[in-house]
Amino acid sequence: MLEIKNLHVSVEGRKILKGFSLKVDAGEVHSIMGPNGSGKSTLASVLAGRDGYEVTQGQVLYRGRDLLEMEAEERACEGVFMAFQYPVEIPGVGSIQFLTAALNAIRKHRGEEELDAFEALKLFKDKVKQLHMSDEMLHRSVNEGFSGGEKKKNEIFQMAVLEPSLAILDETDSGLDIDALRIVADGVNALRSPERAMLVITHYQRLLNYIVPDYVHVLVDGRIVRSGGKELALHLEEHGYSWAGERDPAAPAGASA
């Protein structure tokens, strides 16, 4: 589904990703862990199509197509979804208005019938209920005045509505209390399917108790320095990232510089 080959990315002339490679197949959940500033959000942003990133080398294929050639909205319509580390507040734009626009843009792209305002609202309310969230947020402006946890839950709600093929969650667990963490994890797990893939970026192995990944990768200074199964996360928790970087002789090419 997703193939990232030797990706090099700079921001304002600074090299952030330095030869990042990763292959994700449909049905898989990959977790990316790494210290602050290692480039996790940069990776997510480049995949989602945020401006301001310069790809100096490498390639990203999504379902066989060059992802980097596509506009951000086209990626979303093709099924890429990023849950933001810091969701944006948009005063004055109603959540329903926003999500109806998004849903219908995607449906139209897929050749499906657009929903009218009434049908869309019904769908939103059903999803809110399934996720055990409160529909109060539907009646507010997008993320405006939301608490950190509410914003994260809203990202998961949007994901549930838009039903992406590739979901990238950028630290969706940070700042959540136990209840919210369960709601978020349940939302993600409900979406797991053989047709979908997920990239779960996190600092804490805690989340991975709820969303059990197939693979865990350790990102240090713009490169994957170690990959393994879910037990790698536990090991990291104990030994820290420096361990992962220093002592793995089997790290992917370019990791041991």
Partner 1 sequence: MSGKLKGKGGLEGYLEAFKRFQNGAGGPSWLRDVRQAAIQRSAELGFPTVRDEHWKFTNLAPLAKKTFRAASGGGKITLDDVAPFVFRGQESARLVFVNGRYVEELSDPCAQPGGVIACSLAQSLGTHKELVEQHLAKHLDYERDFFAVLNTAFMADGGFVYVPARALVQRPIHLVFGTTKTSSPVVTHPRNLIMVGEAAEAAIVEEYVSLGGDEYFTNAVSELVVDEGAVLEHYRVERESERAYNIGTVRVQQGRGSNVTCHGVFLGGALVRNNMHPVLAGEGAECVLNGVFMPRGRQHIDNFMWVEHASPHCGSRQYYNGILDDKASGVFSGRIIVHKDAQKTDAKQTNRNLLLSDEAQMDSKPQLEIYADDVKCTHGATIGQLDDEAIFYLRSRGIAAETARTLLLFGFAAENLERMREEPIRRYVEDLVTGRLPRGEILKKLS
Ligand X SMILES: Nc1ncnc2c1ncn2[C@@H]1O[C@H](COP(=O)(O)OP(=O)(O)OP(=O)(O)O)[C@@H](O)[C@H]1O
Strand order in the sheet with 2-11: 14-24, 2-11, 53-62, 65-66
Q: Which stretch binds partner 1 (CB under 8 A): 35-43, 76-84, 124-132, 201-209?
A: 76-84
Query: Site mask, Mg ion, residues 35-64, x = CB under 5 A?
Result: -----xx-----------------------
132-191 residues in contact with partner 1 (CB under 8 A) are 141-142, 158, 162
What totals of helices (H) and strands (E) does the chain contain, helices first? 8, 12
Structure tokens at 132: 């055990």
Query: Site mask, ligand X, residues 14-33, x = CB under 6 A?
Result: x-x-----------------
Whether the CB-CB separation of 8 and 17 falls below 8 Å is answered with yes
Q: What's the closest the beta carbon of residue 31 comes to partner 1, in angstroms? A: 21
User: Per CB under 6 A, does 40 bind ligand X?
Assistant: yes
115 binds, among ligand X, partner 1, Mg ion, none (CB under 5 to 8 A by kind): none
DSSP string, 174-213: TT--HHHHHHHHHHHHHH--TT-EEEEE-S-HHHHHHS--
User: Per CB under 6 A, does 95 bind ligand X?
Assistant: no
Beta bridge pairs of residue 228: 216
Buried b (16+ CB within 10 A) or exposed e, 109-135: eeeeeebeeeebbebbeebbeebebee
39 binds, among partner 1, Mg ion, ligand X, none (CB under 5 to 8 A by kind): ligand X
Whether the CB-CB separation of 82 and 44 falls below 8 Å is answered with yes
Q: Which stretch binds ligand X (CB under 6 A): 12-20, 138-146, 192-200, 231-239?
A: 12-20
| Residues making contact with partner 1 (CB under 8 A) | 48-51, 71-73, 75-77, 81-82, 84, 87-88, 90-94, 96-106, 109, 114, 117, 141-142, 158, 162
